[in-house]
């Protein structure tokens, strides 16, 4: 039987760091804790990532690459069904890197590179929401005045960006635990798409309500 090659140390460091950041929040995780969790020396950790910011930046770069691919799928959204799947997939990615959103303001205040790059992320998200709205309008799923496109796209991005922060404030002890993920993601997707309610064609509006009801759990009420 052929043994699998061991994962590279740098890869293991990033995976463990992401897990710890997500579980405890980035400010509460030290490089000492990371090296202890990995059972490697601090020197080995510093060899690969000389500072904690290097770890944060490497994880952000991974997130950004995945987000770039995902936002490109906005060109294929034509109706509520497409939009529901797209938003849920987007929230799943945000959940995977939830430490970025839980501690966003703190991270940006300490990391100039992250601050600059996250501004680009917001612009990219806004363009993707505009593309989504344009596609749904061309397909007849919604009707929206051109003057309302930008504000609506921006509102969608605001909810996307700060939804997990809202969940955390609402229930600090349980909101960002893995067992809470599904309900939190569904609530987030529902609230983003709810911004489209005034503009949706009648059957599309009814379908959104049906989707929200079908996926709602007793613990998923806002």
The whole-angstrom separation of Cα 164 and Cα 180 is 11
Task: Please check whether residues 62 and 157 belong to one and the same domain.
Answer: yes
The whole-angstrom separation of Cα 11 and Cα 58 is 10
Task: Please check whether residues 16 and 77 belong to one and the same domain.
Answer: no
Specify the CATH number for the domain of residue 202: 1.10.357.10
pTM for the model stands at 0.88
pLDDT on residue 106: 87
Query: Based on the structure, what is the number of domains in the chain?
Result: 2
Task: Please check whether residues 42 and 100 belong to one and the same domain.
Answer: no
Task: Please check whether residues 99 and 4 belong to one and the same domain.
Answer: no
pLDDT on residue 221: 46
pLDDT on residue 4: 42
Task: Please check whether residues 111 and 188 belong to one and the same domain.
Answer: yes
What are 138-163's pLDDT values in tens digits?
999 999 999 999 999 999 999 999 99
Residues pairing with 142 in the sheet: 200
Task: Please check whether residues 62 and 153 belong to one and the same domain.
Answer: yes
Task: Please check whether residues 141 and 213 belong to one and the same domain.
Answer: yes
Task: Please check whether residues 115 and 188 belong to one and the same domain.
Answer: yes
pLDDT on residue 213: 85
Domain range for 185:
52-220
pLDDT on residue 175: 74
Note the helical H segments in the chain: 9-24, 31-38, 42-48, 52-71, 80-96, 98-102, 104-110, 112-138, 146-170, 181-194, 202-215
Specify the CATH number for the domain of residue 22: 1.10.10.60
pLDDT on residue 217: 52
Task: Please check whether residues 36 and 100 belong to one and the same domain.
Answer: no
Task: Please check whether residues 39 and 56 belong to one and the same domain.
Answer: no
Task: Please check whether residues 34 and 80 belong to one and the same domain.
Answer: no
C-beta neighbour count of 205 within 10 angstroms: 17
Task: Please check whether residues 85 and 157 belong to one and the same domain.
Answer: yes
pLDDT on residue 167: 87
Residue stretches of the chain with pLDDT short of 70: 1-7, 215-222
pLDDT on residue 220: 45
């Amino acid at each position: 039987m052929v043994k699998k090659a061991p994962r590279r140390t740098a890869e293991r460091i990033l995976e463990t760091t992401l897990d710890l950041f997500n579980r405890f929040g980035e400010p509460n995780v030290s490089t000492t804790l990371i090296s202890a969790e990995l059972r490697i020396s601090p020197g080995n950790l510093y060899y690969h990532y000389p500072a904690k910011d290097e770890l944060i930046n490497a994880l952000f770069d991974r997130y950004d690459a995945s987000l770039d691919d995902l936002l490109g799928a906005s060109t294929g959204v034509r109706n509520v069904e497409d939009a529901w799947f797209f938003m849920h997939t987007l929230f799943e990615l945000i959940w995977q890197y939830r430490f970025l959103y839980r501690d966003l303001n703190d991270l940006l205040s300490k990391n100039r590179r992250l601050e600059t790059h996250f501004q680009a992320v917001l612009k990219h998200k806004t363009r993707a929401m505009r593309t989504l709205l344009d596609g749904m309008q061309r397909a007849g799923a919604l009707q929206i005045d051109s003057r309302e496109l930008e504000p609506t796209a921006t509102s969608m991005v605001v909810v996307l960006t700060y939804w997990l922060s809202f969940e955390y404030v609402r229930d600090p002890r349980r909101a960002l635990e893995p067992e809470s993920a599904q309900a939190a993601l569904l609530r987030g997707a529902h609230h983003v798409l709810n911004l489209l309610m005034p503009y949706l064609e009648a059957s599309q509006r009814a379908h959104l309500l049906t989707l929200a009801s079908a996926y709602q759990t007793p613990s998923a009420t806002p």
